[in-house]
Amino acid sequence: MAKSQFRSKRQVSGKKYLAVRKKRLCELGGEPAHTNIGLKRAKVKRVMGGALKKVLLSDEVVYVTSKGKTKKLKIVSVANNPANVNFTRRNVITKGCIVKTEDGDVKITSRPGQSGILQGILL
């Protein structure tokens, strides 16, 4: 089933909006990326305006910046994911999740499904 990102058919009060038009292709939402731990896999998709967006499907490294230096750390597992309880046991990486690395816990600050890269800060 397609996910529409058009406004709701109902107002806050519950009254129905008047139908202005039918659904448009540009108002469709994409499927979630569900970025996992594994060999780097990404796909490129075309978005509105002809721009390209890189969607990260899996990766095994995270770029951590602290004190002006950037390091590339290997991900061991997902420690906590506040977006969804089940994402922790499935090792799904989203923005705000905490991953275990060889140097300690890292909080992901980038959006892997939108930017195509894993960036974070040490905790």
pLDDT above 80 (res 2):
no
Q: How many helices (H) and strands (E) does the chain have?
A: 2, 10
- 99: Cα within 13 Å, side-chain hemisphere: 31
Whole-prediction pTM value? 0.82
**Domains in the chain, please, with CATH?**
32-122 (3.10.290.70)
Summarize pLDDT for 5-34 with one digit per residue, the tens: 888 889 999 999 998 888 888 888 888 999
pLDDT above 80 (res 59):
yes
- State mean pLDDT over 56-62: 97
What distance, in Å, lies between the first and last C-alpha atoms of the chain?
A: 39
